[in-house]
């Protein structure tokens, strides 16, 4: 699967975040214990809990989203946290409760 320009991969009609340094890269995914493990080559880059009962949803790890904002060069580092939290809250309200602040490889 290919990482899209929003640093997301699609699995079963849902989108899951990956670190933005993998934009437009080919990655692979494996499912273990209802968790999506995403790899670049053989390196594990993220893990997401799979949500089987929903379709068309966005699932972000907060640090992936923050890194993506930093790469945009539109915001300063000290602004990222508040902008990120505000945006992720809006995304969660619109789509789902899909924001994870936990360790993304757990």
What per-residue confidence (pLDDT) applies to 17? 93
Model confidence at 63, in pLDDT bands (50, 70, 90)?
Answer: confident
What per-residue confidence (pLDDT) applies to 30? 96
Model confidence at 25, in pLDDT bands (50, 70, 90)?
Answer: very high
pTM for this model (two decimals): 0.75
Mean of the per-residue pLDDT values of the chain: 80
8-26 in b/e burial notation, b at 16+ Cβ within 10 A?
bbebeebbbbbbbebbeee
Model confidence at 56, in pLDDT bands (50, 70, 90)?
Answer: confident
């Amino acid at each position: 699967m290919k990482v899209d320009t929003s640093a997301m991969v699609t699995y079963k009609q849902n989108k899951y975040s990956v670190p933005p340094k993998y934009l437009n890269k080919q990655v692979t995914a494996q499912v273990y214990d209802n968790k999506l493990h995403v790899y670049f080559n053989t390196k594990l880059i993220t893990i997401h809990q799979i949500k089987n009962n929903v379709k068309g949803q966005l699932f972000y790890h907060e640090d992936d989203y923050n890194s993506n904002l930093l790469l945009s060069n539109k915001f300063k580092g000290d602004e990222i946290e508040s902008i990120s939290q505000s945006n992720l809250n809006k995304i969660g309200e619109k789509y789902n409760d899909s924001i994870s602040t936990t360790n993304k490889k757990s």
